[in-house]
């Protein structure tokens, strides 16, 4: 069975600092991996996805994530945080045999001025 673990329910960084949100997954077959962002009182929006090929994936708003099979990780990063990045971020996993996408419990990102 697939599962996703997001380390840290809340991360706080200063404006301009590096953002690092951690995600580890479990899957018995090659996974498809996703990061979503949720702003207050809204649904989730896709930030980026990994399917096959290049392991470094670039998304919207300057975010990127690297798929590391040996570490079963798919951490999300952004070099310089903006105030507008404050939101909740969800990692999710699926695969070619699954009809379902499984989500982690989310990480709330706060940005300090």
Query: Would you say 9 or 12 has its CB closer to other proteins?
Result: 9
Binding site for other proteins (CB under 8 A): 6, 9, 32, 34, 36, 41-46, 49, 51, 90, 92, 94, 96, 99-106
CA dist., res. 9 & res. 82, Å (int): 19
CB of residue 15 vs other proteins: minimum separation in angstroms? 26
DSSP code for 63: -
CB of residue 55 vs other proteins: minimum separation in angstroms? 15
CB of residue 62 vs other proteins: minimum separation in angstroms? 19
Task: State the pairing for strand pair 19-26/31-38.
Answer: unpaired
Q: Which of these, 54, 97, 105, 61, lies nearest to 82 by C-alpha position?
A: 61
């Amino acid at each position: 069975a697939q599962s996703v673990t997001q380390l840290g329910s809340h991360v706080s960084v200063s404006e301009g600092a590096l953002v690092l949100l951690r995600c580890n997954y479990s899957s018995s077959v090659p996974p498809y991996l996703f990061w979503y962002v949720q702003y207050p009182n809204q649904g989730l929006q896709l930030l980026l996805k990994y399917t096959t090929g290049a392991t470094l994936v670039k998304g919207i708003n300057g975010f990127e994530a690297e798929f590391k099979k040996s570490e079963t990780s798919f951490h999300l990063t952004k070099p310089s945080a903006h105030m507008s990045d404050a939101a909740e971020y969800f990692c999710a996993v699926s695969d070619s045999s699954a009809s379902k996408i499984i989500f982690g419990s989310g990480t709330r990102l706060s940005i300090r001025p």
